[in-house]
Amino acid sequence: MTHTDDILQSVYQVILDRKANPTDSSYTSSLMRGGIDKILKKVGEEATEVVIAAKGGRPDEIVYETTDLLFHLLVLLGHQGIPPEAVYSELRRRFGTSGIAEKAARPLNH
């Protein structure tokens, strides 16, 4: 496990804990209670904020907003019971393949 995987995995484990042991004071628990629609709304909001930050060109804002987006994506994965390793595996599978070729090789339902 790399240093990057380690922090993402650590955050993911906390998310799973909040899912299994919700508390009223936990933001993650409140997202889980809100269900998929609340989580997807936050993912969309955070993705938009990354776009706005990138358009503004301030690296610190881009990092901050990207961190928020990654967190909310981990919440989505946790809600759906998908381990981050599934994403890492897919990235490894695609690594070294042209994006155009990879997209062309996808089944039609993607």
pLDDT at 100: 76
What dotted CATH number matches 7-83? Answer: 1.10.287.1080
The closest of 72, 67, 1, 59 to 31, measured between CA atoms, is 72
Question: For the chain, what are the domain ranges?
Answer: 7-83
CB-CB contact of 46 with 72 (8 Å): yes
The SS3 call for residue 22 is: coil
The tens-digit pLDDT sequence of the chain (110 residues) is 556 669 999 999 999 999 999 999 999 999 999 999 999 999 999 999 999 999 999 999 999 999 999 999 999 999 999 999 999 999 999 998 877 776 777 676 66
The whole-model pTM stands at: 0.86
DSSP conformation letters of 87-100:
HHHHHHHHTTS-HH
User: Which tokens belong to 6?
Assistant: 């380690």
Q: What is the CA radius of gyration of the chain?
A: 16
In this prediction, residue 2 carries a pLDDT of: 59
